Copies of this chain bind each other. A is one copy, B any other.
Amino acid sequence: MDKKPIIELDEVVIKFSGDSGDGMQLTGTQFSNTSALIGNDVSTFPDYPAEIRAPQGTVGGVSGFQLNFGHKEIYTPGDYADVLVAMNPAALRANLQWVKPGGTIIVDTDSFTDKNIKKAGCEESDPLKSSKFGDFNIIEAPITSLTKESLKDSGLDNKSIVRSKNMFALGIVYWIFTRPLEYTEQFFEHKFKKKPQILEANKLVLRAGYNYANTIEAMPSYRVNPAKIQKGTYRNINGNTATAWGFLAAAEKANMPLFIGSYPITPATEILQELESRKDMGVKAFQAEDEIAGIVSAIGASFAGNMAITTTSGPGLALKTEAIGLAVIAELPLVIVNVQRGGPSTGLPTKTEQSDLLQAVVGRNGEAPVPVIAASTPSNCYNYAFEASKIALEHMTPVILLTDGFLANGTQPWNIVDSKQLPEIKPRFFKGEGEYMPYARDPETFVREWAYPGMKGAEHRIGGLEKMDLTGNVSYVPVNHEVMTNKREEKIDRIVNVIPQQKVEGDADADTLVIGWGGTYGHLLTAVQELREEGHKVALSHFNYIRPLPGNTEDIFKKYKKRLVCEINLGQFAKYLRMIYPQYEYKQFNKVQGLPFTVTELKKNILKLINE
Binding site for B on A (CB under 8 A): 49-50, 60, 314-315, 317-319, 321-322, 325-326, 328-330, 342-349, 351, 353, 355-356, 358-359, 362-368, 463-466, 476, 478-479, 481-482, 485-486, 488-489, 569-570, 572, 575-576, 578-579, 582-583, 585, 591-595
Contacts and interface: CB of A to CB of B under 8 A. Distances in A.
Contacts of A575: 362, 579
A366 B344 contact: yes
Contacts of A60: 476
Given A319-B322, A329-B345, A355 B362 contact: no
A540 to B, nearest CB: 22
A476 B322 contact: no
Contact of A366 (B329, B355, B362, B366): B355
A362 B358 contact: yes
Contacts of A363: 321, 358-359, 362-364
B476 A49 contact: yes
A2 B163 CA distance: 104
A464 B346 contact: yes
Contact of A344 (B315, B342, B367, B594): B367
A482 B319 contact: no
Contact of A367 (B319, B346, B592): B592
A50 B476 contact: yes
A367 B576 CA distance: 15
14 contacts: A314-B366, A329-B345, A329-B347, A344-B365, A344-B366, A345-B365, A345-B366, A345-B465, A347-B466, A355-B367, A356-B366, A358-B362, A359-B365, A578-B578
Given A342-B481, A478-B595, A579-B575, A367 B569 contact: yes
A363 B363 CA distance: 4
A179 B315 CA distance: 57
Contacts of A463: 346
Contacts of A348: 465-466, 476, 481
A147 B578 CA distance: 63
A364 B318 contact: yes
A576 B486 CA distance: 20
A275 to B, nearest CB: 23
A312 B367 CA distance: 18
B325 A466 contact: no
Contacts of A342: 366, 466, 481
A176 to B, nearest CB: 29
A87 to B, nearest CB: 19
A347 B465 contact: yes
A355 B319 CA distance: 19
Nearest to A315: B322
Nearest to A365: B314
A467 to B, nearest CB: 10
Contacts of A317: 365
A100 to B, nearest CB: 19
Closest 7 CB pairs of A and B: A343-B366, A363-B363, A314-B365, A344-B366, A346-B464, A478-B593, A344-B368
A33 to B, nearest CB: 28
Contacts of A347: 329, 366, 464-466
Contacts of A569: 367
A368 B326 CA distance: 25
A356 B345 contact: no
A488 B591 CA distance: 15
Contacts of A478: 593-595
A315 B485 CA distance: 17
Given A319-B322, A322-B315, A579-B575, A479 B593 contact: yes
Most buried by B among A319, A349, A466: A466
A299 B179 CA distance: 56
